[in-house]
Amino acid sequence: MKYISLNHNSAPTSFKKAVINGLAPDKGLYFPKNEVKLSASFIESLKNIDDFEICYEVIRKYIGDEIPKNKLLDIVKDTVSFKIPLKKIEKSIYSLELYHGPTLAFKDIGAKFMALCLDYFKDSYTSKKITVLVATSGDTGGAVANGFSGTKDIDVCILYPKGKISEVQEKQITTNGSYVNAIEVEGDFDLCQSMVKRAFNDEEINRKIALTSANSINVARWLPQMFYFFLAYKKIKNTKQNIFSVPSGNFGNICAGILAKSMGLPIDHFIASTNINDTIPRYIKDGIFEPNDTQATISNAMDVSDPSNFIRIQKIFNNDLQKLRKNISGYSFNDKQTKEIIRRLYTSEKYLTCPHSAIGYLGLKEYMASHDENKINGIFISTAHSIKFKDVVEDIINSEVKYPNSIKSILNKEIKSQSIEDYDELKEILLNRV
């Protein structure tokens, strides 16, 4: 499989180079050059196929022979190493819980897969020091820090907005030892992301360091998120319409689901559920792409006004707005609505969600209000464990959220981070680690 730049000013490249480079030389996002289709017989047999084999078959055509079969199977097995339950919440409504991995967030799959691919490729590609540079609005940072914990000779540099992520999220980023350089930025996630993009454009940095990104802009972080949708489909009765509501910030997860559908997975419709940073719901409604200033919310990992992955979604639909509207609905919700539904689900259904998952539920309910729920399998994505937003959730439900054992072990660790205000400070840090 070759990968093209969506800026269309760089030559197609291999999966290996796309993973190591992160962005194309023209600074565009990489995208598979050729469409991948799975056989109808494979789709029909999903319920009878081992989870590892499903994930291997889904990903292998995007990698080709660049990773041998046995090695790729090992990577898949190390990646999909935790349960991904589908729980019935109400009539026709299910929660796909993606937070049972090591950092209790859906990004564990993508971060681990990318780390293992990069670890496999690094020695054969470059003599320069490899540095993973990533911006996080919360969960990506912890997942990346954990995912790269077993790799060697790879630096990890994580930027996060100061005071805008939860205590647990910050602990997961800042307590991983010397291979992780945690940097808190005086600003929001969009500023963090702009600094990362600027570093990738900096000729001096790129002469000395092999930079790559572990945000969902990296194909190895993004593509394996398709696994979730295939494994969910395996668990449900497929005599109804399959509707997925995805809490969306940078739009990597929903984009992976849309790609899964393009491969042949029977998904009838997607719902892009956002907080008040509603660029995409507005675009779907009026056809105008107009990001506003990012606003802070209790669903902080979704505080993104200019989502990087939306260009990939446009590519899948060949920039056809009508086709996009046929496949995706967009809804946005404020903090008040989010709090109300967290409280209601906890009291009436005995089900506790994080703020992001709650928005996924709200989007699904909004869609189902104008459709026949008897004909629908409504699945909302639960992206993170509520403990990652402990103070917010406890205040809403007026009850304690207990720490899982995996979190207890880091609570008393010392936070180690640097604070910066501008790009020049980031550049100095990166060059000093060479």
User: What are the start-end ranges of the H helices in 264-334?
Assistant: 279-286, 310-316, 321-327
Q: How many H helices and E strands in the chain? A: 20, 14
Q: How far apart are CA 370 and CA 257, in angstroms?
A: 23
The neighbouring-strand residues paired with 243 are 269, 378
Which tokens in the block code for residue 269? 């419709």
Active site residue 107: yes
Q: How far apart are CA 249 and CA 360, in angstroms?
A: 11
Catalytic residue among 17, 107, 339, 390: 107
The CA–CA distances, whole Å, from 262 to 36, 230, 255, 257, 283 equal 8, 12, 11, 9, 22
- DSSP designation for 28: P
Q: What is the DSSP string of 178-233?
A: TTEEEEEESS-HHHHHHHHHHHHT-HHHHHHEEEE--STTSHHHHGGGHHHHHHHH
CB-CB contact of 105 with 221 (8 Å): no
Which tokens in the block code for residue 50? 């081992």
Q: How far apart are CA 375 and CA 242, in angstroms?
A: 9
CB-count exposure of residue 204 (10 Å: 0-12, 13-18, 19+) = exposed
393 dihedral zone (left: phi>0; alpha: psi -120 to 50; beta): alpha
Using alpha carbons only, how large is the chain's radius of gyration in Å? 20
- What number of CA atoms fall less than 13 Å from residue 315's CA on the CB side? 21
The three-state secondary structure class of 64 is: coil
- Active-site amino acid positions: 107
